């Protein structure tokens, strides 16, 4: 069987962002997230869980890259996409082989730079 993976582009809707480029210790206001979960099947009949979180503290493209990198490193994560809202809560969607705990997501967000799930 031939399996193909498609990556979704990361989007920065902040109109410029902070532009810090100085790593996870950029001094941006990193702050909170709720989540939703959907289960679908891919072309191979293997279940994929899609979870969407509301995350505060992301203000720029660097923030998006840091969060994406840390969450993609979690076991079972297949894809991460971020809809940046620099003035409030950003939407972070994670596709994985199985449902991830909020604590695993929060740990990844903390490692990325102290971002927080909103409640």
pTM over 0.75: no
Reading the block at residue 29, the tokens are: 């206001």
Give 32-42 pLDDT, tens digit per residue.
Answer: 344 555 555 55
Domain ranges in the chain are 30-117
Structure confidence by residue, pLDDT tens digits, 7-26: 444 443 333 444 444 344 44
- Min mean pLDDT across 4-13, 71-80, 108-117 is at 4-13
Fold (topology level) of 30-117: Alpha-Beta Plaits (3.30.70)
Contacting residues for 18 by C-beta, under 8 A, at least 6 apart: 26, 28, 59, 60, 62, 86
Average pLDDT, the chain: 76
Type and span of the H or E element at 58: none
């Amino acid at each position: 069987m031939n399996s193909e993976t498609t990556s979704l582009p990361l989007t920065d809707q902040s109109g410029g962002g902070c532009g810090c480029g100085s790593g996870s210790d950029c001094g941006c206001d990193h702050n909170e997230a709720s989540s939703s979960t959907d289960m679908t099947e891919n072309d191979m009949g293997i279940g994929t869980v899609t979870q969407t979180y509301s995350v505060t503290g992301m203000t720029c493209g660097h923030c998006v890259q840091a969060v994406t990198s840390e969450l993609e490193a979690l076991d079972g994560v297949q894809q991460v996409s971020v809809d940046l809202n620099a003035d409030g809560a950003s939407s972070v969607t994670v596709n994985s082989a199985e449902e991830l705990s909020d604590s695993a997501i929060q740990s990844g967000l903390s490692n990325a730079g102290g971002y927080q799930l909103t409640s």
